[in-house]
Amino acid sequence: MNFAKSLIAGFAGAAALNILHETMRKFDSEAPRMDLVGEQAVKKSAEAMNVDAPTGKKLYGITLAGDMVTNASYFAAIGMGGRKFMLLRAIGAGISAGIAAVKAPKPMGLNEKHVANSDKREIMTVAYYVFGAIVTAGVLSLMGKKSA
């Protein structure tokens, strides 16, 4: 699969992940809040660069955009290994990204409670990333069938 198609599929997976996250957080008060961890990261980055951190909707928008770009780029790698074992690569990539989302905030000085203060939140966080990765693999599979 070429890089452009992989990146398009990666964006589809990242969008699916974010739609799932945004939907679940509205219906379940115990759902992971990756958005809050992302906003903390944006604020911390702004402070490190001695610039005023965005607030409100601007902070949310910058966080969402950064999340989309990083997840799409990561998920794009799923298609770079060809069609063989693509679903297994997707599951592995999703599990890896989910575990990183759970484990990385604390050593980065961010509040890990938003994604890791309960078994439920940790499992949901990993599951969200697996979902996004599987959507990526599905889109890649459909793209492969259309070009065949």
Q: What is the DSSP string of 42-105?
A: HHHHHHHTTSPPP-HHHHHHHHHHHHHHHHHHHHHGGGGG-STTHHHHHHHHHHHHHHHHHHST
Task: Name all contacts of 51-54 with Cβ < 8 Å and 24+ positions apart.
Answer: none
Token look-up 């940790």 returns 122
Average pLDDT over residues 85-111: 96
Mean pLDDT of 106-130: 95
Task: Report residue 84's pLDDT band, with 50, 70 and 90 as the boundaries.
Answer: confident
Confidence category of residue 82, pLDDT binned at 50, 70, 90: confident
Number of residues that make up the chain: 148
Within a 10 A sphere around the Cβ of 18, how many other Cβ atoms?
A: 18
Q: What is the model's pLDDT at position 36?
A: 95
- Are the CB atoms for 94 and 131 separated by under 8 Å? yes
Structure confidence at residue 147 as a pLDDT band (50, 70, 90): low
What the block records as the tokens of 143 is 């793209």
Predicted confidence at residue 148, as pLDDT, reads 44
- The average pLDDT across 101-120 equals 94
pTM, whole model, 2 decimals?
A: 0.93
Domain extent, residue 66, equals 3-147
Radius of gyration for the alpha carbons in the chain, expressed in angstroms and rounded: 16
Is the pLDDT at 145 greater than 90? The verdict is no
> What total number of domains does the chain contain?
1
